[in-house]
Amino acid sequence: MIAIALVLGTGAVINTSLQSCSTLATSDLGLAVIKRVLLGGINKGMNIYGNREAFLQNNLVDKALPKQLRDINTTLEKIAPALVAKEREYIADAAVYTVNISRPILENAVNSLNAQDVTRIIQGEKGTATLILKEKTSQQLVAAIAPKVEQELNKYGIVKTINTALSGSNLLGSLLGGGNNNNNVNAGGLSMLASEQIVNGLFNIIEDHEKQNSASLLGPLGK
């Protein structure tokens, strides 16, 4: 028998004994533990995204920068380094507006987790819970926030500014969807890359929270 003590948000302690981790995995209790971890990670991510400075200073968000956007920034650093800082700030501003769009999508996905998902989490590596959440919501999140991100970036005219800075340079080519004779960054391409960074950065934060709390919260699940 495995004795398990879980401290709930109310401060109450539930003690239970289970025959095995697999029994816990398919129980309401096992599902509740995993939901609690994921919701905690989502809340942490939303707090960071709701704070412009916290977003800019978070290395997990920076690690999510798509290669294409990183290449653009590398080129811009040689031409107009101050523009890279502005671009990052504008993306951070846009991220603030995505919080109310992303939160319900993520929370609904967490609440729809089932026993099969829990079993997969038990059998997988640390971070599997976040991986499953990402599989369920990533494309939906990018599609949902991209229009708002593009709206915010267009408001600041960042795409036009970048193209002005890159005028006469063919280093980027059609990197962001331009035609063979078009070396411009296009608005849709930039906003999509920014949206991907925002979404993947959020999953990086959730995964980090899951891993940090795996011992104390997922220990009963054998993680």
Predicted confidence at residue 129, as pLDDT, reads: 94
Residue 51 zone, left/alpha/beta (φ > 0; ψ -120 to 50; rest): beta
The two structure tokens encoding residue 75 = 């080129």
CB 115 within 8 A of CB 221: no
The two structure tokens encoding residue 67 = 């290669």
Torsion from C-alpha of 169, 80, 88, 58, nearest 10 degrees: 110
What whole-number distance in Å separates Cα of residue 158 and Cα of residue 194?
12
Predicted confidence at residue 11, as pLDDT, reads: 43
What whole-number distance in Å separates Cα of residue 204 and Cα of residue 218?
18
Q: Cα(first)–Cα(last) distance of the chain, in Å?
A: 17
Over the chain, what is the mean pLDDT?
A: 81
pTM above threshold 0.85: no
Question: How high is the mean pLDDT in each 10-residue block of the chain (223 residues)?
Answer: 40 44 60 91 98 97 93 86 91 95 97 90 89 97 94 83 69 47 59 94 97 71 54
Predicted confidence at residue 132, as pLDDT, reads: 97
What whole-number distance in Å separates Cα of residue 205 and Cα of residue 184?
33
Question: Which residue, among 207, 26, 57, 43, has the nearest Cα to 122 in the 3D structure?
Answer: 26
